[in-house]
Structure 1
Amino acid sequence: MKTQSMGQASHNAAQSAVGYQHQTWWALLELLRSGRARPGQAITLELHDDVAWERDGSPSQLLQLKHHQGTARSLTDAATDVWRTLKVWMDTGAPGNSAGPEFLLVTTQIAADSTAMAALRPQTRDEFAALRGLESVAENSNSEQTRVARQQFLALDPVARRVFVSRIQVLDGSEHIEDVPGQVRVELQWALPTGHEDLFLAKVWRWWDEQALAMLQGRLRSVDVGAAQASINEIRDQFTNDTLPTLVELADVDGESVALQYRTHPFVQQMEWVAYPPRNLQKAIVDYYRAYTHTVRWVEEELVGPAELERFEAELIDEWEREFEWMLDELDVDADESAKQEAGKRLLRQLLAQTGITVRSRYHEPFFARGQRHMLADAGTIGWHADFETRIQALLKVAG
């Protein structure tokens, strides 16, 4: 029995991983490239085939993807890839049904001249020559790897065989995995926001990765053309003058790690002075982290300017000043520590729930205003406890 070395197994696993990644990435390119001509249709992954187009739940086109990294070999009619693909389609695609879905073999290899594969290209199509070439290989090849598929092909009656071949197209010389992102960029040229092209594309890729994972896990059946166009337009709209892109999603943040990192910061101390509940305190730290990270990245990407952020901070401070004075006015002169804690906790909870002040008129992510308030509290500009100013001074002296 022939055994496989660890190195061979690792190489094969790497090739498989690249193949699956290529399939996922190429599906986005296919969606962008062909979607405009397919209104009302949807694209799927690993449902009907590697990639497929469907209408009303039924496949209209099945695509088998073959990725060969670093090889110059031509695609021949006897290739294992060819007969594996034909077998998949004969097993699942009702080969003799002339009304069935189209079959597309998408391969990075180049079909050799005078082969059935070359005759099945859209631009050099000759179905009769293709049928003769496949029948010749099916009858004369001695390959054990393709024997079952060849026998299955020959077992089709002549009419079914002819219909089957008529439904096949070969798209050879397809993009390698490293070329796909560049082609996606070309297809999205119309949507690229000037000066923020890479960030926009990163968000599109993130959106697509989420869709692809959901399809592969069976949580999402397909992505239809209209929904894809709407999602891409929504991402594009985040780069207009009245909104901003969200760059760090809540799911991206390890709450426990972030809480550990910021546990000694002044804004955390401020919340502890008013006995803020532990779980909400941890969520507040995540808000701070996301708001701070967004502020830095937005400025780096020149999506927002210092003056705009200063205006936003000034509005938050003005709002806090009004509410803080009301809190002090309602406290008794001889209020004890417990009363001050309760008043401060109410103030903090009240302001964190306020969503009326936004950095941009259409940017309504609540974490940013909440986090920005914590950033101001971290600087000692605002606070929650009635005596926060003297306590902050003491804290800064200790820290100094």
Structure 2
Amino acid sequence: MALVPNHDAARSALGYLHQVDWALVEMLENGPDRPDQMMMLEQFDDVSWQDDAGPTDLLQVKHHVGKRGNLGDKSVDVWKSIKVWLDDGGSRAVDGPTLRLVTTASCPPGSAMEALRIGSVREERRALELLDRSAAEAESEETEPARALWLEQPKDIRAGLVSRLSVLDGSIPIDQIGSRLRRSLWWVGLSEANLDLFVDQLRAWWHGLAVDLLLKRRPPVVAHEVRSRAGVLRDGYNLSSLPTSVARPSKDETAAIVDQHANHIFVRQLGWINVPTNLLERAIIDFWRTVEQTTVWVANHLVDLMELQEYRENLADQWDHSWDAMLRKLPPDATDAEKEDAGYDLWSQMRDRAGTYLRSNFQEPFFRNGILYELANLEDPAESHGWHPEFDSMLRQLTLERTK
């Protein structure tokens, strides 16, 4: 029996992602005007601004796929939003916070929501009359609880909610959020190609921060945090630095990556010097991140192949000097255990050595280590580097075994 895609689940997932992304748009565009306020997700509303006294601005964020929907007086989105606000004493109060409905749907001409649309002449009295009429006359079972709750409220509560409610209809869908963010981030002064990568980085950081907000693992976020993070990311695009866009993988991703690289030559070489399993996994991840990060840089013209080759050659020269020093310290009759220990010490020394960075302000250890593992991942002993004092003969034997 064929599986039927769960379109409702997909729409819900897109809605949640859109809510998180819209919060970033809100932070970038309105945050500078709210220096003393903070933002939270799913605390007082989908998105909320607050100060030390409590919420100041509550946002209901609605996303539709395909047909954009509408905000007619009988709209489910309208009445669900109203119920959310009426269910909370703070947002229901006459002097409560500002209320905003942000949606990809559209306000039909003559509707209550059109009368409250941002950018149009407000007609609060007409909006109240239309909502009262719809609450009394509509027959939808889905909106009945919200409409009944509306009619239970005194007129000053209903009028107060209308007076604080603004509607932003026709908002961009999730697949256009990237364009909106690029416009909001024009001030970083990057080229069009680099701006795309920059937005992806900032968006990924924001998604991680949103998880912490939703899990209540951190306090509400303030605008200067976002600006500060954007500044740090932007600095990665100057001539003395580079952006880090490939993050450490998750636990499940790590297991798959380690499995895929288990037979790489550099992994076998690390096995010859008895590197512990946990450090071996870190080495594989450093190698993987380096390959992925280099691909991103080259594709975005942030670094050229000549610069990378010169960097590899500089590290290879350092390795050659350290290799010679290790051999000089080994006694002629060194045991297998002494040779393994010497190779392990060389690996530790090369891994932990400071300096020799690709760019002066790009000092990510994973990249330097990853290049070392690239140098140790060549099959030809004449070109490869290694840690074990007899790695060249061991590598020739490994090559013979692989060709059989």
- The answer, yes or no, to whether TM exceeds 0.5 is yes
1:385 aligns with 2:382: no
User: Which SS does the other structure have where 2:49 is aligned?
Assistant: strand
**Of the candidates 126, 147, 154, which is equivalent to residue 150 of structure 1?**
147
Q: Give distance in 1, aligned partners of 2:269 and 2:3.
A: 56
Q: Give distance in 2, aligned partners of 1:13 and 1:275.
A: 48
User: Which SS does the other structure have where 2:90 is aligned?
Assistant: coil
For structure 2, the residue ranges without an aligned partner over 5 or more in a row are none
CA shift, 1:7, in A, is: 9.9
Equivalent position of 1:197 in the other structure? 195
Equivalent position of 1:112 in the other structure? 108
The more displaced of 134-143 and 365-374 is 134-143
CA shift, 1:125, in A, is: 0.5
Q: Give distance in 2, aligned partners of 1:37 and 1:173.
A: 24
The more displaced of 69-78 and 306-315 is 69-78
1:44 aligns with 2:43: no
Kept after mapping to 2: 8 A contact 1:93/1:101: no
Q: Deviations over 1:88-141 (max 9, x none)?
A: 111115356343211111222222223322221232202222222222333344
CA shift, 1:142, in A, is: 4.0
Equivalent position of 1:364 in the other structure? 363
- Shift in alpha-carbon separation, 1:135–1:371, aligned structure 2, 3 A: same
CA shift, 1:41, in A, is: 2.0
What number of residue pairs does the alignment pair up?
395
User: Which SS does the other structure have where 2:113 is aligned?
Assistant: helix
Q: Give distance in 1, aligned partners of 2:4 and 2:328.
A: 76
* 1:384 aligned partner, one-letter code: W
1:159 aligns with 2:156: yes
* 2:221 aligned partner, one-letter code: V
* 1:382 aligned partner, one-letter code: H
User: Which SS does the other structure have where 2:229 is aligned?
Assistant: helix
Equivalent position of 1:77 in the other structure? 73
Equivalent position of 2:372 in the other structure? 373
1:238 aligns with 2:236: yes
Q: Give distance in 1, aligned partners of 2:355 and 2:202.
A: 29
- Shift in alpha-carbon separation, 1:241–1:91, aligned structure 2, 3 A: same
Q: Give distance in 2, aligned partners of 1:111 and 1:371.
A: 55
Q: Give distance in 2, aligned partners of 1:178 and 1:397.
A: 52
Which TM-score applies when normalising by structure 2? 0.88
Kept after mapping to 1: 8 A contact 2:128/2:159: yes
Kept after mapping to 1: 8 A contact 2:91/2:97: no
- Shift in alpha-carbon separation, 1:282–1:81, aligned structure 2, 3 A: closer
CA shift, 1:61, in A, is: 0.7
* 1:249 aligned partner, one-letter code: A
Q: Give distance in 2, aligned partners of 1:21 and 1:274.
A: 46
* 1:131 aligned partner, one-letter code: L
* 2:122 aligned partner, one-letter code: R
User: Which SS does the other structure have where 1:311 is aligned?
Assistant: helix
Kept after mapping to 2: 8 A contact 1:287/1:367: yes
Kept after mapping to 1: 8 A contact 2:68/2:104: no
Kept after mapping to 2: 8 A contact 1:289/1:371: yes
Kept after mapping to 1: 8 A contact 2:182/2:196: no
Alignment of 1:9-20 (within 5 A): 10-20=6-16
CA shift, 1:297, in A, is: 3.2
CA shift, 1:226, in A, is: 0.9
CA shift, 1:192, in A, is: 5.7
User: Which SS does the other structure have where 1:245 is aligned?
Assistant: coil
Kept after mapping to 1: 8 A contact 2:85/2:92: no
**RMSD over aligned Cα atoms:** 2.6
Equivalent position of 1:186 in the other structure? 183
Equivalent position of 2:57 in the other structure? 61
**Of the candidates 195, 210, 220, which is equivalent to residue 222 of structure 1?**
220
- Shift in alpha-carbon separation, 1:150–1:393, aligned structure 2, 3 A: closer
1:23 aligns with 2:19: yes
Kept after mapping to 2: 8 A contact 1:104/1:170: yes
Q: Give distance in 2, aligned partners of 1:82 and 1:269.
A: 62
Equivalent position of 1:321 in the other structure? 320
For structure 1, the residue ranges without an aligned partner over 5 or more in a row are 1-5
Q: Give distance in 2, aligned partners of 1:335 and 1:235.
A: 50
Q: Deviations over 1:326-385 (max 9, x none)?
A: 222222122222222211211111211112221111111111111211211223442222
Q: Give distance in 1, aligned partners of 2:205 and 2:377.
A: 34
CA shift, 1:58, in A, is: 1.8
Q: Give distance in 1, aligned partners of 2:44 and 2:75.
A: 23
* 1:339 aligned partner, one-letter code: E
The more displaced of 235-244 and 380-389 is 380-389
Q: Give distance in 1, aligned partners of 2:189 and 2:155.
A: 51
Equivalent position of 2:205 in the other structure? 207
CA shift, 1:308, in A, is: 1.9
Equivalent position of 1:293 in the other structure? 292
CA shift, 1:397, in A, is: 5.0
Q: Give distance in 2, aligned partners of 1:71 and 1:146.
A: 20
Kept after mapping to 2: 8 A contact 1:63/1:103: yes
1:87 aligns with 2:80: no
Percent identity, aligned pairs only?
Answer: 36
